[in-house]
Amino acid sequence: MKFLVRLRPFFFILLLLVLWQFAASGGHDHLFPTPVQVGAGLVELFSQGLLAKYIIASLFRVTWGFGLAVLTAIPAGLTIGWNRRLEMALNPLLQLLRPISPLAWIPISILWFGVGDMAAIFLIFLASFLPLTLTAISAVESIPPVFVNAGRNFGLGSWELVWRVLYPSVMPRLIIGIRITLGIAWLVVVAAEMIAVNSGLGFLIVDARNAGNRYDLVVAGMVTIGCIGLLLDTGMRSLEKIRSLRWTY
C-alpha cells in the first residue's frame, strides 16, 4: 500500500509520457517528436560522444563564470553591506544594472572578448555577480545587532568578529542566494550558447533545429538541461542541510 503511494509520481510521469506519445504521433506535422524518438535521439547523441562533450562545455563555462562571481561578489557585497556610506553610494547603481538581462550584454561581450568561451563566461559572471552582491549586502544588514554586541562583549577583535560572528551569521542566507544564482547561471549559459558560441547544450538545441529540423535532438537537449539543472539544485540544497548552516531554517 505505502509502496504504491510512493510510486504515484512515477505513474504520473508515465501517464504524461503516454499522452505525449499519442499527441505527437497523432499530429499532422511530424515535426514534434514522440518520447520514443527523443530517447533514440539521446542515445544517438551519447554514442557520438556529443552529449558528454556539450555537457562538459556548458558546465565548464558555468563553473568559471559562476566561480569567479562567487569569489568576487561575496567579499564585495559583505564589504558594501558593512559600510553604510558605501552602500548608499552604490545601491542605486546596482539596482539599475540588475534588471538588465545578461543577454543584453551579448553585443558588448562579443566586442570585448570575441565569439568564444570568454564571452560566454563573461555573461555568466555578469548574470551571477549582481544577485550575489545584493544577497551578500542584505545578508550583512540582516545580522541582528545583538550578535555583534555579544561578540564585542566577549572581547573579540575585528578579525575575530568577522570570522566568528559575521561569517557564520551570513552563511545561511548566502547559501540560499548562491543556490538561486546558480539556477540563473544555468538559464543564462543555455541562452548564451544559443547566440554566442559553437558548443554546449544551448548550441545543441539551436544547431539541431537549424541543421535539418531535428526536433528529437532539440527535445533531447532540453531534457538534458532540465536534468542537470535539477542535479545542481539538489546538490546546493544538500549544502543547506549541513548542520552548522541550518540554524535558520
Partner 1 sequence: MISDRLRTRLEPVILPLLMAAALLLAWHYGVKWSKSNVFPSPLAVQKGMAELVRKGLLWKYIADSLWRVGVGFGLGASLGIPIGLTLGWYPAAGEVVNPVIQMVRPISPIAWIPLSIIWFGVGNPGAIFLIFMAAFFPILVASMNGVRNVPAMFRLAGQNFGLNPVQILSRVIFPASLPQIVIGLRIALGIAWLVVVAAEMIAVDSGLGYLVIDARNSGKRYDLVIAAMLIIGLIGLILDLGFRRLETLRAVRWGFRQDA
Binding residues for partner 1, rule: CB under 8 A, are 8-9, 12-13, 16, 29, 31-32, 85, 88-93, 95-108, 111, 142, 183, 186-188, 190-191, 194-195, 202, 205-206, 208-209, 215, 218-219, 221-222, 225-230, 232-233
Shortest distance, position 2 Cβ to partner 1, whole Å: 13
Alpha-carbon distance of 121 to 177, in angstroms, equals 20
In the complex, what is the shortest distance from the CB of residue 8 to partner 1, in angstroms, rounded to a whole number? 5
Nearer to partner 1, 156 or 229 (CB): 229
**Rounded Cα distance, 66 and 187, in Å:** 12
- Distance in Å, CB of 157 to partner 1, minimum: 28
Residue 107 or 157: which CB sits closer to partner 1? 107
Q: Which residues contact 33 (CB under 8 A, 6 or more apart)?
A: 24, 41, 215, 216, 218, 219
Is 58:205 a contact under the CB 8 Å cutoff? no
Residue entry with cell 556529443: 50
The residue (of 170 and 219) whose beta carbon lies closer to partner 1 is: 219
- CB 78 → partner 1: shortest distance, Å? 19
Judged by beta carbon, residue 101 or residue 158, the one nearer partner 1 is 101
CA pair distance 172, 247, nearest whole angstrom: 8
Give me the least distance between CB of 98 and partner 1, in Å please: 7
For residues 219 and 44, give the distance between their C-alpha atoms in angstroms, rounded to a whole number. Answer: 13
Q: Are 246 and 172 in contact (CB under 8 A)?
A: yes
Name the DSSP class of 46.
H
Q: Which is nearer to partner 1, 4 or 159 (CB)?
A: 4
